[in-house]
Amino acid sequence: MSAIILDGTAYAEEIRAQVAAHVAELQSDGRVIRLVAIVVGDDPAGRLYAASQRRQSEKVGIQYELIDLPESTTQERLLETIDRLNVDHGVTGILLHLPLPPHIESSLAQYRIDPYKDVEGVNPANIGLLFYGEPIIAPCTALAVNELVRRSGLVVEGANAVVVGQSRIVGKPITMFLLSQNATVTACHKLTRDLVSHTRAADLLIVAVGKPGVIGAEHVRPGMVVIDVGINSVTGTGPDGKPSRRTVGDVDFEAVAPVVRAISPVPGGVGPLTVAMLLRNTVEAARKQQLTRSEPAAS
């Protein structure tokens, strides 16, 4: 039996349509939804990613602005820029592209973003609130994974979930998300002994490592749902026999797909859904900001 392929591109399209409807609703109340991205330095990937975010934002009616700062920008100047955006009521969401130049402390800059404008859900306030299962804005990748799991039909409550990778931005938030839904969660990492024994015991396997092929046929068993978060650029051979670059996940898709019940592909799985979640978070941010601003002041 062949696996269900969890088509993130198609699901992202549905989410964008829902977001566009919500944005139109907010606009009819006179609200402008505006996302501001900050890129610092010469990394061309940040600008490429920003161009893609702009296209997707504008398609759903979200205004997108890019603040492009030079490599020489000081930490103080970046923090001032964030502070200015934090207090500007015309700004709904703030996005900080990483990596930042080495003289700037990334976590300090991320910490500075107002948790209500933190549309990527990376501020420690939002990550911390995940422990209580109620972040103001949840991390986009964890939301994307959650959406794929939901669409796989797997009942998370009581399921054995194994998360491979425990980074602050990806692995740990996914672990907390699953725990808050009453899965029994095992977090694996570089020093985990006998990874196979853990992964094979899973009903749900989520892989966020950044190493192509780290999960092969030996790590899985029939009936499992596998979500591949990894994005890796590898060199292969093109149809003309010449070297060419392509994007693959962390899971050996060809080996694993014939065994498991459902699997997300790379590309076309978690990636497109993560961007859709960023747009959804922006609308969520607008709603929550409205609520906090309309709350009566404490006497």
Give the interface with ligand NAP as residue ranges (CB under 6 A). Answer: 141, 164-167, 169-171, 188-192, 195, 208-211, 214, 229-232, 270-271, 274
Number of residue whose CB is nearest ligand NAP: 167
Rounded least distance, CB 149 to ligand NAP, Å: 14
Phi and psi at residue 56, to the nearest 5°: -70, -35
What's the min distance (Å) between Cβ of 83 and ligand NAP? 27
Q: How far is the CB of 242 from ligand NAP (least distance, A)?
A: 25
- CA neighbor of 117 nearest in space, from 245, 272, 283, 6: 283
For residue 182, the tally of other CB atoms under 10 A from its CB is: 12
Q: Which is nearer to ligand NAP, 189 or 287 (CB)?
A: 189
**Closest by CA position to 281, among listed 90, 138, 113:** 138
Instruction: Give min distance, CB of 240 to ligand NAP, in A.
Output: 28
Q: Angle at the Cα of 62 (from 85 to 89), degrees rounded to 5?
A: 30
Give the span between the Cα atoms of 170 and 175, in whole angstroms.
Answer: 9
211-241 burial: b if 16+ Cβ within 10 Å, else e: ebebbeeebbbeebbbbbbbbbeeeeeeeee
11 or 91: CB nearest ligand NAP: 11
Q: Which is nearer to ligand NAP, 101 or 271 (CB)?
A: 271
41 versus 271: smaller Cβ distance to ligand NAP:
271
SS3 216: coil
CB of 145 vs ligand NAP, minimal distance in Å: 9
Of 26 and 226, which has the nearer Cβ to ligand NAP? Answer: 226
- Cβ neighbours of 47 (radius 10 Å): 15
The nearer residue to ligand NAP, 101 or 173, going by C-beta atoms, is 173
Q: From the CB of 295, what's the least distance to ligand NAP, in Å? A: 33
Tokens of residue 181, six digits? 């839904």
Residue type, 198: H
Tell me the two tokens of residue 40. 């610092």
